[in-house]
A and B are shown apart, each in its own frame.
Chain A
Amino acid sequence: MLLEIRKVSMIFGGLAALKDVDFRLEEGQILGLIGPNGAGKTTLFNAITSFLHPTAGEIFFNGEKISGLRTHEITNRGISRTFQNIRLFDQMTVEENVMVGRHTRSRAGVWNSVLRTGFQRKEEARIREKTDELLDLVGLQGHNQSPASSLPYGFQRRVEIARALAGEPRLILLDEPVAGMNDNETEEMARLIKKILGFGITILLIEHDMSMVMKVCDRLVVLNFGEKIAEGAPREIQNNPQVIEAYLGREEE
């Protein structure tokens, strides 16, 4: 079991953003996290990455308890994420953004950098090589030197994914990767997600686009008002009356 969410609750004042949420994710799988707005999906991402600390419950990654660790320690253990409202380093180039993502897989410190040791130069070359590979993968070859903020929205999402992959994670958390994209772009993103799975990387996906979720996910977990109301294969979820009532039956928000 790669990721285990054990009875995680997140209470803000009197409001329970998450209540006893409990599920598991096997290595190599892709699990979709769905539910109406405000259901607690992003809160759960924030709990997994220690942006927030759960008020109750525990989170295990690869058999080790990670709840309570600091964010960078969790990333170091192999969990990367993207953000719902894209958080690229705006004043950096596309290439620099991805290179920052490689931080956990490189070592050079102050003295190696200042003295330009052979070790540092080799590592730097490797970082660039990896960056080019990833920009190729997400279809942004040739955009290396563009300022990240100058790219169209859809491209920025792909830079975020390349940046998250640069740390060679075992698990990647994608927060609404196709929000605001047209059909073509969505199709491309679905292909990219399949490719990432093909590398053996496990994916936890938050997504509102139902056709996409149904197409790419192995399993789904449905949240509503902070509680898990259903879990299962996409087909089962589609026909679950509770889910239909809570989510699928509603109009797009």
Chain B
Amino acid sequence: MINPYYLQIASFILINILLGLSIYITLCTGQLSLGSAGFMSIGAYTSALLTVKLGLPIPLGLLAGGLLAAVIGLLIGLPTLRLTGVYLAIATLGFGEVVRVVFINWESLTSGAVGIAGIPHLGRTILARLQAAGFSPESWGLKNNEFISLTVFLILLFLTLLTLLFFSRLLKSRVGRAFQAIRLDEKAAEAMGINTTYYKILTFVQGAALAGFAGALFAHVTGYISPADFTYHRAVEILVFAVFGGSEVLWGPVFGAGFLTLMPELLRGLSEYRYFIYGTILVVLMIFRPQGVIDRPLLDRLRGRRNEGKDAA
């Protein structure tokens, strides 16, 4: 019934959804930040080191990971706020590389390129706790590894739903309208009395915190991290989640992360050819649907309420 392999893929999809949302939320004020991999690694290393070296509980590590990423996001966001478009993208991409190089070279703390192994695993830790309290997965008819995968999946699902609720409410409020106004016309937004600096930094920091949090979860799901997990390939992969799925609506990066994480697995039988197909799908999509798969008109249609009069597409 419960296949640990499928559950693991589902768990990675959920982490990737969080990462896709992290780039999306910063994009909500029109800022393209490619620092997600960098913030992700900060969250991952923070939580890994705190739990491995200091023996702190995992929840504390996760919070600290998200928090430190947010603080560093604030420090990076303040000076780079003057940059827009491709310049901001390059600067944040550079930031990610700097972070990675620091993790490689700070060997006394991070073990350099070797990485950190033996990070407390989210599912196994919970199982150990429960077993100590006398619970056995057998009583639910589950094997140990099935229980572990299921626990991880459910926790990630809960956190992802919570994040989605957070942002869908935020975007439908006064704050969300300010974000959108800034994205559409920054000068006009300012003329509406919107403090554009504040809101741009807010989304930058929120994106950084979310990426850091997702990175910390990643560390406790894989149990092993190294700087090679956070190269600029990762940053581009996260960007593609948003671009492919659609960067205008919250559901875009959710779909993008889900589909693009699942597809290589589904095509696994084709061995090397699967990345060829993956690439072809991306190219074809960008030609025929540059705004991404999910956009506002599509959502409206799915909800069955068409705009009267003109079709906004």
Binding site for B on A (CB under 8 A): 49, 51, 70-72, 75-76, 80-81, 83, 87-92, 96, 99-104, 106, 108-110, 112-114, 116, 120, 123-124, 127, 145-147, 150, 163, 167
Q: How far is the CB of A144 from chain B (nearest CB, A)?
A: 11
CB contact list, B139-182 vs A, under 8 A:
166, 169-170, 172-178, 180-181
Across the two chains, which residue of chain A brings its CB closest to B166? A114
A150 near B309 (CB under 8 angstroms)?
yes
Interface CB pairs A-B, < 8 A, 15: A76-B193, A87-B185, A89-B180, A89-B184, A92-B177, A92-B180, A96-B180, A100-B177, A100-B178, A103-B177, A103-B193, A127-B174, A145-B307, A146-B310, A167-B193
Q: Does B84 contact A (CB under 8 A)?
A: no
Per-residue contact bits, chain B 189-227, to A (CB 8 Å; 1 contact, 0 not): 111111110000010000000000000000000000000
Which listed residue (A101, A110, A145) contacts B192, Cβ 8 A? Answer: A101
A114 near B170 (CB under 8 angstroms)?
yes
B190 near A71 (CB under 8 angstroms)?
yes
Q: How far is the CB of B173 from chain A (nearest CB, A)?
A: 3
A102 proximity list for chain B (CB < 8 A): 174
Q: Does B299 contact A (CB under 8 A)?
A: no
B192 proximity list for chain A (CB < 8 A): 72, 75, 100-101, 103-104, 163, 167
Known contacts A96-B177, A145-B308; A103/B169 CB under 8 A: no
Q: Does B129 contact A (CB under 8 A)?
A: no
A108 proximity list for chain B (CB < 8 A): 173-175
A81 near B191 (CB under 8 angstroms)?
yes
Q: Does B302 contact A (CB under 8 A)?
A: no
Alpha-carbon distance between A147 and B181 when the two chains are bound, in angstroms: 14
Q: Does B284 contact A (CB under 8 A)?
A: no
B181 near A89 (CB under 8 angstroms)?
yes
A87 near B188 (CB under 8 angstroms)?
yes
Q: Does B187 contact A (CB under 8 A)?
A: yes
Q: Does B312 contact A (CB under 8 A)?
A: yes
A163 proximity list for chain B (CB < 8 A): 192
A100 proximity list for chain B (CB < 8 A): 177-178, 180-181, 189, 192, 194
Known contacts A89-B184, A99-B177; A72/B312 CB under 8 A: no
Q: How large is the interface on B (under 10, 10 to 19, 20 to 34, 35 or more residues)?
A: 20 to 34
Across the two chains, which residue of chain B brings its CB closest to A163? B192
B176 near A113 (CB under 8 angstroms)?
yes
CB contact list, B265-313 vs A, under 8 A:
296, 307-310, 312
B196 proximity list for chain A (CB < 8 A): 72
A147 proximity list for chain B (CB < 8 A): 307, 310, 312
A91 proximity list for chain B (CB < 8 A): 180, 184, 296
B189 proximity list for chain A (CB < 8 A): 89, 100
A76 proximity list for chain B (CB < 8 A): 193
Across the two chains, which residue of chain A brings its CB closest to B185? A87
Q: How far is the CB of B277 from chain A (nearest CB, A)?
A: 33
B173 near A72 (CB under 8 angstroms)?
no
A92 proximity list for chain B (CB < 8 A): 177, 180-181, 184
Alpha-carbon distance between A99 and B179 when the two chains are bound, in angstroms: 13
Q: How far is the CB of A191 from chain B (nearest CB, A)?
A: 25
6 smallest beta-carbon distances between A and B, as pairs: A113-B173, A104-B193, A75-B193, A71-B190, A87-B188, A89-B184
Alpha-carbon distance between A163 and B184 when the two chains are bound, in angstroms: 15
Alpha-carbon distance between A112 and B194 when the two chains are bound, in angstroms: 18
Alpha-carbon distance between A103 and B173 when the two chains are bound, in angstroms: 11
Q: How far is the CB of A249 from chain B (nearest CB, A)?
A: 35
Q: How far is the CB of A166 from chain B (nearest CB, A)?
A: 8
A113 near B169 (CB under 8 angstroms)?
yes
A124 near B173 (CB under 8 angstroms)?
yes
Across the two chains, which residue of chain B brings its CB closest to A173? B191
Q: How far is the CB of A131 from chain B (nearest CB, A)?
A: 11
Q: How far is the CB of B105 from chain A (nearest CB, A)?
A: 37
